[in-house]
Amino acid sequence: MDNFESVNDFNEAIKEIHILIENANLSISDNLKYRTFNKSSIVLLCGKFESFIEGFLEEFGFYILNNFSNKQLETYIKEHLIDILIKDLDNKKNNPIKRGEILMKFVKILGNDEVLCNEFEINSKFSYGKHGQSEVTKLLKKFGFNEFADSEENKIFYEKFNSLNNIRNNILHQDSTPSLTHQDVENYLAILEMFIENIHKEAIKIISEMKNNYSQQPFGEIGVLG
């Protein structure tokens, strides 16, 4: 898998950011318009980045489930699926039929038969009302991007991302007007784009390593890995 639709979607979505930046650049002489365009860019940029993270990890997770059997799944994805099943089991505790269906999924993922688990649910959503580095890192590690999340390169990214997120929060919750230029917005956008390029490469690397690890096993030979 060399391409993710979520990456294409983000590149399409940020065209709106570019429009705001262009309008800010044309409105430098009008302080109110200039501030408004820059503030809007920051809020919109953060929202689009969070939407990308959720969509990208969901796409990554479903690709894994559609191409690797229960016996080939890494521990992190198995634990993620089991956590969702446990929560779902508790929510359906008064519905015997639904509980039975969920229990059969436990058998499917942990049983002896080698099968795909591509009908299982995945949760790549941010915790409600939570943002920032800790939430991004938690989501990344939930889907196996541990080394990537803790890399030295991303320590630099998180510094910039935390700054961006703090500005967004101050705009939304305190109606503040930060001293922003449209060049600042461009720099924040470039930082997010670099992060997205890097996580895209990391996802392709993870998938490639999984294919190499299991390409000689019988389940891969019958076409599941594609």
Query: Is the pLDDT higher at 9 or at 225?
Result: 9
Q: How far apart are CA 32 and CA 24, in angstroms?
A: 10
Give per-residue pLDDT as tens, 49-97: 999 999 999 999 999 999 999 999 999 999 999 999 999 999 998 899 9
CA 11, chain centre distance (Å): 15
Instruction: List CB contacts of 90: < 8 A, sequence separation 6 or more.
Output: none
The yes-or-no verdict on residue 129 having pLDDT over 90 is no
Which pLDDT belongs to residue 128? 66
Which three-class secondary structure string do you get for 41-105? HHHHHHHHHHHHHHHHHHHHHHHHHHHCECCCCCHHHHHHHHHHHHHHHHHCCCCHHHHHHHHHH
Handedness of CA 179, 37, 172, 17 (dihedral sign): negative
Which of 53, 81, 73 has its CA nearest to residue 206?
73
Could you tell me which residues are beta bridge partners of residue 69?
Answer: 116
Mean pLDDT over 186-193 rounds to 97
Q: What is the CA radius of gyration of the chain?
A: 21
Q: Which helix (H) or strand (E) holds 185?
A: helix 182-214
69, 115 in Cβ contact below 8 A? yes
Is the per-residue pLDDT at 106 higher than 90?
yes
3-state class of 116 per DSSP? strand
Which phi and psi angles does 132 have, rounded to 5°?
Answer: 90, -175
The residue to which tokens 């705001």 are assigned: 20
The dihedrals phi and psi of 4, each to the nearest 5 degrees, come to: -120, 130
Domain boundaries, the chain: 5-68+125-221
Confidence of residue 12 (pLDDT cuts 50, 70, 90): very high
Residue 217: per-residue pLDDT: 56
Q: Is the CB of residue 55 less than 8 Å from the CB of residue 79?
A: no
